[in-house]
Amino acid sequence: MNTSRLFSLARAVVALAILVTWGLPAESATTTTGSKSSVTRAPGSQKLSLQKKKVTSSRTRATRAKASLRARQLQEARQPRFKFDESGALVPDIRAEAAIIYDPKTGQVLWEQNSLDQRSIASITKVMTAAVILEDPDVDLTTPVVVDRSDVRAASTTYLRAGYKVTRDDLLHLLLIGSDNAAARALARTSPQGPQGFVRRMNEKAAELGLQSTSYADPSGLLNANVSSAYDMARLISYVSGNERISSIMRTPQYTVTSGTRRISVNSTNQLVKTGDVDVQAGKTGFIRAAGYCLATLLKLPQGGPEVAVVVLGAKSNAGRFWETRHLFNWLAGKAENLIGGTVEAATPTPGANN
């Protein structure tokens, strides 16, 4: 009996040992299952990580593609193109939609392509904005202006914020150097005419100057309805250059605005002013999608030569408008003796200039 009990007890001990021995893997399996559950969630995490990598990779490819496009555009823009006109003369063949070389002294068109076509002119609109502001020779440009929310709302390009306190002179510099849209709105809003009356005055002045293809819809140029022609803009840039307050600002490469403790540095959007390879007397850039890249300039020919207005509208790239202008200037240099009775040195961009 004792032997039987001992045998039964031994069997129980063995069974317990087996249970314990096999039970440990079972617990481990549960833990592993938990790990597998964690691993089961990992594919989702991996998928998210993979998606992020794809987005990053896509952005990298897009950035490289844009850089490559800009490089191709720059390389293309640097090469002047020519064609033979009906008389067999070799003349510029520009990539922009319209352009002109205009002699403001004689009113002669020295060369043109689609110069009477009416087109959106973007921020070249601001040339007339400045002209209207400075119609009054006694205008006080030291008058402080507080920037309103309506000035900066959807302004696209601006260095200003609602509540900034600056002078009208600061606004004028922001307008013509940095092409600041909020500055244009603030100037019109605080003018004696008010914002709507200001735009009416812009159109009245355009009519007074005989700019038949020109119509303004707002003081900044953001609206597509601001339209003109290369011919009209050549005449306008020639006209405003006679106002030293306007032309001196247009020739300024950099300006600093102070509002309270804030210092705002603004660089000229006109690369010709910054590189200095041509003698810019006045100039204004412009860009919106409907207009393309635009530039209206008054350039002085070297060696005591006369001034000529060169306007390029609807260029394909930012660099393109500046190179088209240089190419037209250089072509004129070679033809100056026949066209304007003198010789002219060609424009030579500074080494390493990208625009």
Q: What's the one-letter identity of residue 77?
A: A
Q: Which of 124, 75, 91 is nearest to 316 (CA)?
A: 75
Contact 321, 303 (CB under 8 A): no
Work out the burial of residue 128: count CB atoms within 10 Å of its CB; fewer than 13 is exposed, 13-18 middle, 19 or more buried. buried
Write down the pLDDT at residue 28: 37
Binned at pLDDT 50, 70 and 90, residue 242 comes out as very high
pLDDT at 306 over 70: yes
pLDDT at 34 over 80: no
Of 59-63, 204-208, 239-243, 266-270, the one with minimum mean pLDDT is: 59-63
Of 46-50, 188-192, 218-222, 259-263, the one with minimum mean pLDDT is: 46-50
Contact 126, 176 (CB under 8 A): yes
Write down the pLDDT at residue 57: 79
Of 41-50, 68-77, 98-107, 173-182, the one with minimum mean pLDDT is: 41-50
Rg (CA), the chain: 34
3-class SS at 146? Answer: strand
The helix or strand, by DSSP H or E, that contains position 297, with its residue range, turns out to be strand 292-300
Q: What's the one-letter identity of residue 102?
A: Y
Q: Alpha-carbon distance 130 to 170, whole Å?
A: 12
Work out the burial of residue 300: count CB atoms within 10 Å of its CB; fewer than 13 is exposed, 13-18 middle, 19 or more buried. middle
User: What's the whole-model pTM score?
Assistant: 0.79
Write down the pLDDT at residue 41: 53
Write down the pLDDT at residue 68: 83
The helix or strand, by DSSP H or E, that contains position 336, with its residue range, turns out to be helix 318-339
Domains of the chain in start order, with CATH, are 78-339 (3.40.710.10)
